[in-house]
Amino acid sequence: MKLEKLKIKKIDGPGGKISLRIYSPEADGPYPLMVYFHGGGFVTGSVQSTDGIARKLVQATGYRVISVDYRLAPENPFPAAIEDAYATVAWISKHLTSLRAKSKDIVVAGDSAGGNIAAVVAQLAKSKGTPNISKQVLLYPPVDIFSRDASVLYPSMDEFAEGYVLTKESLDKYFKLYLSGATDRKYDPLVAPVRNKDVSKLPAAFIATAEYDPLRDQGEAYAQKLKDAGVPVYAKRLEKVTHGFMSTPSAATNETYELISEFLKEKL
């Protein structure tokens, strides 16, 4: 499936303009819509760094994918990224006609920190009653505190602390930069969505984790919590890969795109 010419759009956000990249299938709409949040520990990354993932998602799913350049820490610490993310999804819900949306349903997705943001936006939409988030696609997401003290709850933090792309030390650094000035909120569900006491009635979730990833156990714990609350969940641990594997072509990457497509078609 080819792509139309990429469209760039800027919308008004709570902290200024938010830049969006809109990727569309070559075929005319209407299109199902997916909003994508990039990874980077809330400190790095951009719509450019996940350009390849966004394009592949269009090709694999037939969705129109809207990638979001949210504000980054430490210049814009928590909750700036969450505010931008929710504002974007709310804006999309009010512009369904101009976006040639197939329905009012919106899928939220993201990798790493973007997976955290997608999970939080899904929870916010539920609590506020708008917009209509139908599904969430979370790729190796941090869903709890990801500083050094997380090792007590999540053994993978120590098991893969060094030598597997993402280190325990870098996670601790990202966490502190993201929560600069707001460390008292480290257990807030807006930071750690797994801490939300009521996760029932959330959108169906696809959660991919990587075998050699310090964040692996967090993602799998969130999948189990959602399942226990009655949320439809498809969780998959991709073997012999590290955090961030979706950025590099591999058998695991191809399998994940195929599974996402099946999940969105409700065939899993």
* Euclidean distance between CA atoms 244 and 97, whole angstroms: 34
Strands (E), 24-166: 31-37, 64-69, 101-111, 133-139
* Euclidean distance between CA atoms 122 and 190, whole angstroms: 11
* Euclidean distance between CA atoms 149 and 145, whole angstroms: 8
Where do the H-state alpha helices sit in 144-229? 156-159, 168-178, 216-228
Q: Cis peptide before 14, with omega less than 30 degrees from 0?
A: no
**Catalytic-role residue among 69, 84, 213, 217:** 213
Q: Answer positive or negative: Cα dihedral of 17, 23, 27, 31.
A: negative
* Euclidean distance between CA atoms 186 and 31, whole angstroms: 37
Is 213 annotated as catalytic? yes
207 and 222 Cβ atoms separated by less than 8 Å: yes
**Catalytic-role residue among 24, 112, 147, 156:** 112
* Euclidean distance between CA atoms 196 and 113, whole angstroms: 17
Is 228 annotated as catalytic? no
67 and 3 Cβ atoms separated by less than 8 Å: no
Is 184 annotated as catalytic? no
**Catalytic-role residue among 67, 69, 156, 243:** 243
Any idea which residues carry the catalytic annotation?
Answer: 112, 213, 243
